[in-house]
């Protein structure tokens, strides 16, 4: 039987990519997983009833992905078959919609069974006209049953896109044979759908105190008291909320326009809401062997030494430098170079065939010269802007795959539609000698925000530089850190909500006031905060190289680099904007827009949308802005219907989300192969995924 594998680092479990068994077993495996999850839910309900019957607490299972990546709805939880990175993609459609369709299927089957009995009785008694009428009804029911069963198949999630290597990973074994052959000949495993995070909701506090901005809250959906929603609280009574450039701005109702101030989140909220863009631990060996460039590269001659070696499905990288006092400042920089399905097709065929001879012959038969073929192949090897891509939204349903002729790829609108400038960089650094300087650099709208460490005494200085002119901006913050001796350090530097934040080994560093006002600090002001890159490839590439690590007179090694982004709230308002979840008007294809600086003027036209929050009301948004039906989309109602507008009535609030207390289980216990009876017992949760809700 196909097993549900625990998505952990492939280095720990080499067997995690072992092929699934025969396709015929896939359905029974899926049904067994669903049975286990149902049984677990019953057990959890009894446990909670016992533990919390005397407390004002309630369990809640998140149904959809509107709060992803912070919290998960029904989803598939997998390791990428190409790079090993664990990611989640939505399977919400396999929940309620599939359940409704299957209920319809069972009803039709029962009607057909009853009809067959009536038909037999009519024929036995010689009532031919009655039998003919029954047969026509049976033909109709049979066609309906065929349609419903096809609908159930069509909405199945058959694939999802890895955020690291952009591989569209197939997730069901009952796909056309050529699909499996295209994926290095590996047999495709069934990836089960898991229920959403089970969270604990504190109901007691909201009766005696007001919730705070940025709390995650659960409430009754206006107009349907049986449906609970979960969102993040953004607006409080007596405020006007503005969504602009992906951020939240607040002012008192009826105050002047100039009173709008950006709403900055506490550091723990920022950390919880960051989404991973790239991790150097998960570079794909398949792509690398096909000549695909690595994301991090040295940009200074004779500076950083990049050691890259293939290890299984990954490329292990180490970035080392050993400078003297006379050597210039040396940089490593990140380029957001993401492959498309054509790049993946080439890389897989090259890995399978051992050469590109067959592909070249096919191109020549199609009238494509070698030069043109090479140009097409490398056309996508260019840096692009960071977008709001979320793998949770990039699932692929069966009907979509069939419509593409089984060329697996995600919908372009699910691969990011907004430029995101609020970023964070993670670096694991081995300082070999306590001398010189180490720098972490982030770029937003052509401005460098930089943390410079003095490795001799641990002092750090935050500064800002205009990339267009190279001139320092009027910003400085300083502090003391523990990075003052040889050793290994985990560093994180973030530029989010117009503030700079620094963590060392997981601890926030106190640097005093690190906020800034773009209208006062930046030459362009806030309105002019659009991406920038020099037209000369040898000069500062600005937002096309949005993160960097610098060294001066230092001896150190970086063993891991990761880039993360903030969530981006899309400015859209029901009754004002189209349903397209895009912040600006543009007819340029997204892949061109994010790669071509001469197109970036459109970002100056990003929308502002304002919302009033009256007394007794709240304003809530989902973290997964492109996929969240929140206050932005609640229309002004007629005749007293609910929701009555873009607000949440305070009386509908249930409580504050406290913790993810029971993440889905992986369906197995230790020794379950030797003791099969264990397989029928509800599995224990994935303890590593238990966490506070931030």
pLDDT reported for residue 553: 97
pLDDT reported for residue 93: 79
Is there a domain that residue 573 lies in?
Answer: no
Query: What digits encode the pLDDT tens for the residues 622-651?
Result: 999 999 999 999 987 666 667 778 999 999
pLDDT reported for residue 6: 39
Is there a domain that residue 408 lies in?
Answer: no
Identify the DSSP state of 246.
Answer: B
pLDDT for residue 20 is more than 80:
no
pLDDT reported for residue 15: 35
pLDDT reported for residue 11: 38
For residues 444 and 488, state if they share a domain.
yes
pTM listed for this prediction: 0.86
Structural domain including 107 reads 98-153
pLDDT reported for residue 267: 97
Q: Give whichever of 183-192, 492-501, 621-630 has the largest mean pLDDT.
A: 492-501
For residues 374 and 501, state if they share a domain.
no
For residues 329 and 462, state if they share a domain.
yes
Is there a domain that residue 526 lies in?
Answer: yes
pLDDT for residue 9 is more than 80:
no
* Cα 414 from chain centroid (whole Å): 10
Domains in the chain, number: 3
Average pLDDT of the chain to the nearest whole number: 86
pLDDT for residue 19 is more than 70:
no
* CA–CA distance, 616 with 639 (Å, rounded to integer): 20
Confidence band for 676, pLDDT divided at 50, 70 and 90 = low
Is there a domain that residue 113 lies in?
Answer: yes
Is there a domain that residue 509 lies in?
Answer: yes
Contact 652, 227 (CB under 8 A): no
* CA–CA distance, 635 with 647 (Å, rounded to integer): 9
pLDDT reported for residue 641: 67
For residues 348 and 497, state if they share a domain.
no
Q: Which long-range contacts (CB under 8 A, 24 or more apart) does 666-670 make?
A: 666/4, 666/5, 666/6, 667/3, 667/4, 667/32, 667/33, 667/36, 667/192, 668/3, 668/4, 668/6
Confidence band for 21, pLDDT divided at 50, 70 and 90 = very low
Instruction: Supply the DSSP string of 527-546, one letter for each residue.
Output: TT------SSTTS--GGGS-
Q: Which of 183, 361, 404 is nearest to 284 (CA)?
A: 183
Average pLDDT over residues 23-39: 49
Average pLDDT over residues 423-432: 98
- Phi/psi-derived region of residue 497, left when phi > 0, alpha when psi is between -120 and 50, beta in every other case: left
Identify the DSSP state of 579.
Answer: S
Q: How far apart are the first and last CA of the chain?
A: 39
For residues 375 and 510, state if they share a domain.
no
Contact 119, 111 (CB under 8 A): no
Record the tokens describing residue 175, joined without a space: 């796909």
Percent of the chain predicted with pLDDT > 90: 58
For residues 442 and 541, state if they share a domain.
yes
* CA–CA distance, 68 with 160 (Å, rounded to integer): 15
Record the tokens describing residue 628, joined without a space: 């969240």
Record the tokens describing residue 255, joined without a space: 């105050």
Lowest mean pLDDT among 403-412, 415-424, 578-587, 619-628: 403-412
Q: How far is CA 255 from CA 250, 261, 312, 517, in A?
A: 10, 12, 60, 19
For residues 352 and 469, state if they share a domain.
no
Query: What digits encode the pLDDT tens for the residues 511-570?
Result: 999 999 999 999 999 999 999 999 998 999 999 999 999 999 999 999 999 999 999 999
Confidence band for 145, pLDDT divided at 50, 70 and 90 = very high
For residues 469 and 327, state if they share a domain.
yes
Is there a domain that residue 446 lies in?
Answer: yes
Percent of the chain predicted with pLDDT > 70: 86
pLDDT for residue 281 is more than 90:
yes
- Cβ-based neighbour number of residue 114 at 10 Å: 11
Is there a domain that residue 647 lies in?
Answer: no
Average pLDDT over residues 370-385: 90
**Would you name the residues annotated as active-site residues?**
66, 231
For residues 526 and 434, state if they share a domain.
yes
pLDDT for residue 305 is more than 80:
yes
Query: What digits encode the pLDDT tens for the residues 443-457?
Result: 999 999 999 999 999
Q: Across 208-326, where does the E strand assignment appear? A: 216-221, 224-235, 239-244, 247-252, 261-262, 275-279, 296-298, 305-311, 314-322
Q: How far is CA 47 from CA 40, 146, 662, 682, in A?
A: 10, 42, 11, 13
Confidence band for 499, pLDDT divided at 50, 70 and 90 = very high
């Amino acid at each position: 039987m196909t097993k549900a594998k625990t998505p952990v680092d492939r280095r720990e479990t080499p067997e995690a990519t072992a092929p699934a068994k025969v396709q015929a077993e896939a359905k029974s495996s899926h049904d067994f997983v669903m049975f286990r999850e149902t049984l677990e839910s019953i057990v959890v309900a009894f446990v909670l009833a016992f533990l919390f019957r005397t407390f004002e607490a309630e369990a809640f299972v998140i149904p959809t992905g509107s709060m992803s990546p912070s919290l998960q709805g029904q989803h598939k939880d997998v390791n990428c078959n190409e790079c090993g990175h664990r990611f989640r993609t939505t399977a919400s459609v396999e929940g309620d919609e599939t359940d409704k369709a299957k209920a319809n299927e069972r009803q039709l089957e029962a009607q057909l069974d009853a009809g067959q009995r009536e038909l037999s009785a009519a024929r036995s008694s010689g009532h031919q006209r009655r039998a003919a009428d029954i047969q026509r009804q049976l033909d109709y029911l049979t066609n309906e049953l065929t349609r419903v069963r096809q609908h159930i198949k069509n909405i199945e999630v058959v694939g999802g896109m890895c955020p690291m290597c952009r591989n569209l990973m197939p997730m069901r074994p009952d796909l056309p044979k050529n699909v499996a052959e295209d994926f290095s000949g590996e047999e495709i495993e069934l990836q089960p759908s898991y229920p959403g995070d089970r969270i604990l909701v504190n109901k007691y506090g909201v009766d005696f105190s007001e919730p705070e901005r940025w709390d995650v809250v659960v409430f009754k959906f206006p107009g349907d008291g049986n449906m609970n929603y979960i969102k993040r609280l953004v607006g409080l009574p007596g405020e006007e909320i503005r969504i602009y450039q992906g951020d939240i701005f607040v002012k008192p109702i009826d105050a002047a326009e100039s009173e709008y101030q950006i709403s900055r989140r506490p550091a723990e909220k920022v950390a919880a809401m960051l989404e991973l863009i790239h991790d150097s631990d998960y570079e794909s060996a398949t792509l690398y062997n096909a000549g695909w460039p690595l994301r991090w590269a040295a940009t200074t001659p004779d500076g950083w030494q990049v050691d890259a070696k293939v290890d299984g499905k990954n490329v292990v990288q180490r970035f080392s430098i050993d400078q003297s006092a006379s050597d210039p400042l040396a940089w490593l920089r990140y380029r957001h170079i993401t492959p498309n399905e054509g790049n993946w097709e080439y890389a897989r065929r090259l890995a399978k065939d051992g050469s590109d001879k067959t592909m070249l012959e096919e191109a020549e038969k199609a009238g494509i010269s070698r030069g043109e073929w090479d140009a097409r192949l490398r056309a996508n090897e260019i840096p692009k802007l960071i977008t709001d891509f979320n793998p949770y939204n990039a699932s692929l349903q069966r009907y979509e795959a069939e419509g593409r002729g089984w060329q697996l790829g995600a919908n372009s609108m699910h691969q990011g539609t907004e430029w995101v400038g609020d970023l964070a960089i993670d670096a694991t650094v081995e300082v070999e000698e306590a001398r010189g300087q180490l720098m972490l650099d982030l770029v937003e709208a052509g401005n460098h925000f930089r943390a410079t460490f003095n490795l001799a005494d641990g002092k750090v200085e935050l500064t800002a530089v205009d990339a267009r002119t190279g001139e320092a901006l009027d910003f400085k913050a300083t502090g003391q850190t523990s990075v003052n001796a040889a050793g290994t350090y985990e560093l994180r530097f973030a530029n989010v909500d117009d503030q700079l934040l620094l963590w060392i080994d997981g601890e926030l560093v106190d640097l005093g006031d690190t906020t800034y006002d773009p209208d006062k600090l930046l030459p362009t002001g806030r309105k002019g905060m659009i991406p920038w890159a020099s037209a000369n490839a040898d000069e500062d590439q600005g937002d096309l190289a949005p993160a960097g690590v610098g060294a001066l007179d230092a001896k150190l090694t970086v063993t891991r680099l990761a880039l993360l982004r903030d969530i981006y709230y899309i400015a859209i308002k029901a009754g004002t904007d189209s349903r397209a979840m895009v912040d600006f008007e543009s007819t340029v294809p997204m892949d061109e827009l994010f790669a071509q600086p001469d197109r970036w003027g459109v970002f100056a036209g990003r929308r502002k949308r304002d919302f009033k929050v009256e007394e007794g009301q709240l304003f809530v948004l989902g973290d997964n802005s492109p996929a969240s039906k929140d206050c932005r989309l609640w229309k002004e109602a007629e005749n007293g219907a609910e929701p009555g507008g873009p607000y949440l009535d305070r009386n509908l609030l249930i409580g504050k989300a406290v913790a993810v207390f029971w993440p889905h289980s992986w369906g197995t216990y230790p020794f379950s192969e030797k003791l099969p009876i264990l397989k029928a017992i509800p599995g224990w949760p994935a303890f590593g995924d238990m966490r506070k809700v931030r």
